[in-house]
Amino acid sequence: MVVFSPSILAADFTRLGEQIKRVDEAGAEFIHIDVMDGAFVPNISFGFPIIKAIRPLTKKVFDVHLMVEEPARYIDEFIATGADIITIHYEADRHIDRTISYIKSKGIKAGISLNPATPVEFIKHLIPKLDMVLIMSVNPGFGGQKFIDYSLEKIKEVKELSEKYNSELLIEVDGGIDKSNIKKVVESGANVIVAGSSVFSGDNIENNLMELRKVL
SS3 label, residue 52: helix
pLDDT in tens, 11-21: 999 999 999 99
Selecting among 24, 34, 37, 93, the annotated active-site residue is: 34
CA neighbor of 122 nearest in space, from 146, 72, 157, 150: 157
Residue 27 annotated in ligand binding: no
Residue 17 annotated in ligand binding: no
DSSP letter for each residue of 69-109: SSGGGGHHHHHHHT-SEEEEEGGG-TTHHHHHHHHHHTT-E
Domain boundaries, the chain: 3-215
pLDDT < 50 positions in the chain: none
Selecting among 63, 93, 131, 174, the annotated active-site residue is: 174
State residue 203's pLDDT score: 83
Is residue 174 annotated as part of the catalytic site, yes or no?
A: yes
CATH class of the domain whose range is 3-215 = alpha beta
Residue 82 annotated in ligand binding: no
